Amino acid sequence: MIYKNILIPTDGSKAYEGIIEFICSIHKVIQSAIYVIYILEVPRNLSLNADLPDKSALAKAALEKAVKIAEKYSVTLETSVVYARSAEDAIITTADDLKCDVIAIMQDNHRLGIFGDSAASIYQKAKCNVWLFNNKLS
């Protein structure tokens, strides 16, 4: 199977850096376009385009780190911050909009991280393949 577009939503954690590193390391084989997004969840009491400087700074740092990882493998990433009410919905919608063949997400053994119980829901609702990476904590 050929994967033309891969979406990696990141929260900036080491676990997601590991996913980005893995996908970039196999890029020469799969030759996919790689999209890395940071979902900036906006509380419902604020407008969707509200200025959230602290969260925006975290998003920018996470995406910059993703680009640095990709540069080690001579891979170019498309990065963006997605403002949304729900990370789960934003991931699924973004994957659809970008015509992604794969969504690569982390499922933690002890907790499911930023996306909470959304990993299973994304897996069930996505119209594309979902690669679940398991973060085995020692």
**Alpha carbons 6 and 9: distance in angstroms, whole number:** 10
Q: In terms of pTM, does the model score above 0.75?
A: yes
For residues 99-124, average pLDDT = 74
pLDDT tens string 14-34: 989 999 999 999 998 889 999
Measured CA to CA, the distance from residue 33 to residue 100 in angstroms comes to: 9
pLDDT tens sequence across 58-89: 999 999 999 999 999 999 999 999 999 999 99
| Top-level class of domain 5-135 | alpha beta
Question: 95 by DSSP, 3-state: which?
Answer: helix
Burial of 47 (0-12, 13-18, 19+ CB in 10 A): exposed
